[in-house]
Structure 1
Amino acid sequence: MDSIKVIGGGELNGTIPISGAKNATLPLMIASLLTDETLTLTNVPRLRDVAQLTQILSNHGVDYSVNGKRNGQDELAGQTLNLTAREIVDTTAPYELVSKMRASFWVVGPLVARCHEARVSLPGGCAIGTRPVDFFIDGLSALGAQIEIEAGYVVVRAPGGLKGARVAFPKVSVGATHTIMMAATLASGETEIVNAAREPEVVDLAKCLKAMGARIEGEGTSTIRIQGVPRLHGARHAVVPDRIETGTYA
Structure 2
Amino acid sequence: MRYLEVKYSPPLKGTVKIPGSKNSSLALLPACCLADEPIILKNVPFILDIKKVFEISKDIGLSIAKKEDNLILDPTRLKNANIDPQKASSFRASYYFVGALLHKFKKVSIGYPGGDNFGYRPIDQHISGLKALGAKFTFYTNHYTVEAEELKGAEIHFEKLSFGATVNVILAAVKAKGSTVLYNAARDPEIEDLANLLNKMGAIIKGAGSDTIYIEGVTSLKSCIHSVLPDRLIAGAFLMAAGATGGRITLKNVVPEHLSSCIEKLREAGMTINCGYDSITGSVHSKLHGINVEAGMYPEFATDFQQPMTAMLIQAYGESTVIDKVYPGRFNHCRELNKLGARIKIEDNKAVIPGKRFLVGDWVKATDVRAGICLLLAGLTAEGTTYITGIEHIERGYENFIKDFTSLGADIMLYDSDAKRK
* Separation in 2, partners of 1:138, 1:153: 18
Counterpart mapping for 1:10-49 below 5 A: 16-49=16-49
Q: Deviations over 1:170-191 (max 9, x none)?
A: 1111111111001100000001
Q: Which runs of 4+ in 1 moved over 3 A?
A: none
Q: Percent identity?
A: 37
The answer for the alignment partner of 1:109 in structure 2 is 99
Task: Please say if 1:240 is aligned against 2:229.
Answer: yes
Q: Given residue 9 of structure 2, which amino acid in structure 1 is its aligned partner?
A: I
CA distance 1:145–1:246, change in 2 (3 Å): same
* Separation in 2, partners of 1:66, 1:60: 18
The answer for the alignment partner of 2:10 in structure 1 is 5
* Separation in 2, partners of 1:114, 1:168: 25
What's the CA shift for 1:123? 2.1
Match of 2:71 among 78, 81, 87: 81
User: Could you say which structure has the larger radius of gyration?
Assistant: 2
Q: Given residue 97 of structure 1, which amino acid in structure 2 is its aligned partner?
A: K
Q: Given residue 29 of structure 1, which amino acid in structure 2 is its aligned partner?
A: L
Counterpart mapping for 1:165-204 below 5 A: 165-204=154-193
* Separation in 2, partners of 1:16, 1:5: 17
Q: 1:36·1:87 contact (CA, 8 Å) conserved in 2?
A: no
Counterpart mapping for 1:135-154 below 5 A: 135-154=125-144
What's the CA shift for 1:41? 0.4
What's the CA shift for 1:150? 2.8
Q: Given residue 112 of structure 1, which amino acid in structure 2 is its aligned partner?
A: L
List alignment gaps of at least 5 residues for structure 1.
69-78
Task: Please say if 1:120 is aligned against 2:125.
Answer: no
CA distance 1:7–1:81, change in 2 (3 Å): closer
* Separation in 1, partners of 2:78, 2:46: 26
Q: Given residue 60 of structure 2, which amino acid in structure 1 is its aligned partner?
A: H
List alignment gaps of at least 5 residues for structure 2.
1-5, 240-281, 283-422
Task: Please say if 1:230 is aligned against 2:235.
Answer: no
* Separation in 1, partners of 2:7, 2:87: 38
Q: Given residue 99 of structure 1, which amino acid in structure 2 is its aligned partner?
A: S
TM-score (norm 1): 0.86
Q: Given residue 190 of structure 2, which amino acid in structure 1 is its aligned partner?
A: E
* Separation in 2, partners of 1:46, 1:168: 35
The answer for the alignment partner of 1:57 in structure 2 is 57
* Separation in 1, partners of 2:186, 2:75: 27
Q: Deviations over 1:180-211 (max 9, x none)?
A: 00110000000111111101101000000000
* Separation in 2, partners of 1:58, 1:236: 21
Match of 1:216 among 180, 205, 215: 205
CA RMSD of aligned residues (A): 1.9
Q: Deviations over 1:219-243 (max 9, x none)?
A: 0000101000011112110000111
Secondary structure at the aligned position of 1:216 is classed as strand
Q: 1:114·1:186 contact (CA, 8 Å) conserved in 2?
A: no
Secondary structure at the aligned position of 2:17 is classed as coil
The answer for the alignment partner of 2:329 in structure 1 is none
The answer for the alignment partner of 1:93 in structure 2 is 83
Q: Given residue 162 of structure 1, which amino acid in structure 2 is its aligned partner?
A: L
Q: 1:162·1:184 contact (CA, 8 Å) conserved in 2?
A: yes
Q: 1:193·1:224 contact (CA, 8 Å) conserved in 2?
A: yes
What's the CA shift for 1:16? 4.0
Secondary structure at the aligned position of 2:215 is classed as strand
Q: 1:113·1:184 contact (CA, 8 Å) conserved in 2?
A: no
Q: 2:135·2:151 contact (CA, 8 Å) conserved in 1?
A: yes
Q: Deviations over 1:107-127 (max 9, x none)?
A: 001111222221112226xxx
The answer for the alignment partner of 1:71 in structure 2 is none
What's the CA shift for 1:215? 0.1
Q: How many residues align?
A: 230
Q: 2:80·2:105 contact (CA, 8 Å) conserved in 1?
A: no
TM-score (norm 2): 0.52
Q: 1:216·1:225 contact (CA, 8 Å) conserved in 2?
A: yes
What's the CA shift for 1:149? 1.4
* Separation in 2, partners of 1:90, 1:196: 30
* Separation in 2, partners of 1:114, 1:152: 24
